[in-house]
Amino acid sequence: MLRFIVRRLLVLVPVLLGLSIALFAWVRALPGSPAQALLGERATQAQIEMINRQMGLDQPLYEQYLRFLGKVVRLDFGTSVQTSQPVIDEMIRRFPATFELGVTALLIAVVVGVPLGYFAARRNGTWLDSATITGSLIGITIPVFFLAYMLKYVFAVKLGWFPNTGRQEARMLDVEHPTGFYVLDGLVTGNMAAFWDAILHLVLPAIALATIPLAIIARITRAAVLDVLNEDYVRTAESKGLTSGVVTRRHVLRNALLPVTTVIGLQFGLLMSGAILTETVFAFPGVGKFVADAIPTRDYPSLQGFILVIATLFVLINLVVDVAYGLIDPRVRVR
């Protein structure tokens, strides 16, 4: 198992190195000089010269790259054009909001998607099955931002059930945030009003963000359960007269959920793309909103930093998923 993890980690090295080269090249390929790209349009001539010297643009390219790599390894991604703060600080400050949103969305997707897919497969050919297939196809084709607006219009603007924007009501500004995860903060500080407020703010964006992963998870689960139900070992289990609960849990789900695990890991990228759009619609102050704001302000250092961090997280998450897969599937474990 350890060998397996080490081998997988080694594969990551060229991918991440390649990515850093690509992003290094990206900044140089941006319109205008790198200094301008990093400083934005408001840069003065003096600033540009200073940056050029600082960045050692007079030195050979590989040395420039090594310098860049050295900084990146130390998590130094430069200064944000939007806020003039170090990019890494901006990221750390906004990360909890996006993490909270993403985890909630993934939770919704799994908790609704897996049972939906399971029952659709069990009642294969009935209205529930057709509704699940149709619903998941529509779920995949609705643009996240359109769905977000519709949710906002119906449930926030018209019905007023949920807040319109943000993570927190203005009147809660003085609430303490020891962790930065507002739901958790409410619990930790025992402030139930703040806890409830944080949850209300999460509901609509999380549903919007959950739609596509939910549709995908429901479909994969349905297909996997259909496959497993036709397996000989399920018939063997039935022939042993086991209760339907044992057959379902031990023999159907334990096998059918293996492919679902892998797919859940792959949702990270979708969630990040979706967070950029959802957070924009709900003015949710997370990483995604920051990326969206980086476009009109040409905040390239932020974009560069975000892409690197998010891609690294993505490959690490998939490594974790692979290892988890190995732990549940004995056939992989031995190899």
Partner 1 sequence: MNNLLDVNDLEIVFSRRGRKDVRAVDKVSFSVAPGETVGLVGESGCGKSVTSLAIMGLLPKRGVRLGGSIAFEGTELIGLPQDKLRRMRGRDLAMVFQDPMTSLNPVVPIGTQVTEVLVRHRDMGADAARKEAADLLARVGIPDPSRRLKEYPHQLSGGMRQRALIAMALAAKPRLLIADEPTTALDVTIQAQILELLKELVRESGTALIMITHDLGVVAGMCDTVHVMYSGRIVERAQRHELFAHPRHPYTGGLLASIPRLDQPRGERLEPIQGSPRDMLAWSQGCAFAPRCRNRVDECVGEAPVLAPARPDHEVRCYNPLGGSDDR
Partner 2 sequence: MSLGAAEAAITVAEDHGGGVWREAFKRLSRNPAAIIGAVLIALFLFVAIFADWLAPYTALAPDLKQIKGPGHIPGPTAEHWLGLDDQGRDLLSRIILGARQSLLVGVVSLLFGMIGGIILGLLAGGLGGWFDTGVMRLVDMMLAVPGLLFAIGIAAMLGEGLLAVMIAIGVVNVPVFARLLRGQMLAQREADYAMAAKSLGVKRRRVILGHVFPNSLTPVIVQGTLTLATAIIEAAGLAFLGLSGADPSIPEWGRMLAESQRHLAIAPQLVIAPGLAIVLAALGFTLLGESLREALDPKYRR
Count CB-CB contacts under 10 A for residue 59: 11
Least Cβ distance, residue 129 to partner 1 (angstroms) = 13
CA–CA separation, 194 and 117 (whole Å): 35
Query: Residue 329: helix, strand or coil by DSSP?
Result: coil
Q: Using CB under 8 A, which of 11, 61, 246, 295 touches partner 1? A: 246
| Residue 76's binding partner out of partner 1, partner 2, none, with CB under 5 to 8 Å set by partner kind | none
Structure tokens at 142: 């609705």
Give the x/- contact pattern for partner 2 in 313-332, rule: CB under 8 A.
Answer: -xx-----------------
Structure tokens at 253: 């789900």
| Residue 269's binding partner out of partner 1, partner 2, none, with CB under 5 to 8 Å set by partner kind | partner 2
Least Cβ distance, residue 237 to partner 1 (angstroms) = 7
| Residue 236's binding partner out of partner 1, partner 2, none, with CB under 5 to 8 Å set by partner kind | partner 1
Least Cβ distance, residue 241 to partner 2 (angstroms) = 30
Which CB atom, from 210 or from 257, has the smaller least distance to partner 1? 257
Least Cβ distance, residue 177 to partner 2 (angstroms) = 27
Contact 322, 335 (CB under 8 A): no
If one asks whether residue 298 binds partner 2 (CB under 8 A), the answer comes out as yes
CA proximity to 40, closest of 52, 48, 29:
48
Displacement of CA 319 from its chain's centroid (Å): 15
| Residue 283's binding partner out of partner 2, partner 1, none, with CB under 5 to 8 Å set by partner kind | none
Query: Residue 295: helix, strand or coil by DSSP?
Result: coil
User: Which residues in 88-117 contact partner 1 (CB under 8 A)?
Assistant: none
Least Cβ distance, residue 324 to partner 2 (angstroms) = 19
Q: How far is CA 72 from CA 58, 290, 306, in A?
A: 20, 20, 11
Residue type, 52: N
Query: What kind and span of H or E run contains 101?
Result: helix 87-122
Contact residues for 133 (Cβ-Cβ < 8 A; gap 6+): 120, 219, 222
Give the binding site for partner 2 (CB under 8 A): 11, 14-15, 18-19, 22, 26, 29-31, 134, 137-138, 140-146, 149-150, 152-153, 157, 268-270, 272-273, 276-277, 280-281, 291-292, 295-296, 298, 300, 303, 306-307, 310-312, 314-315
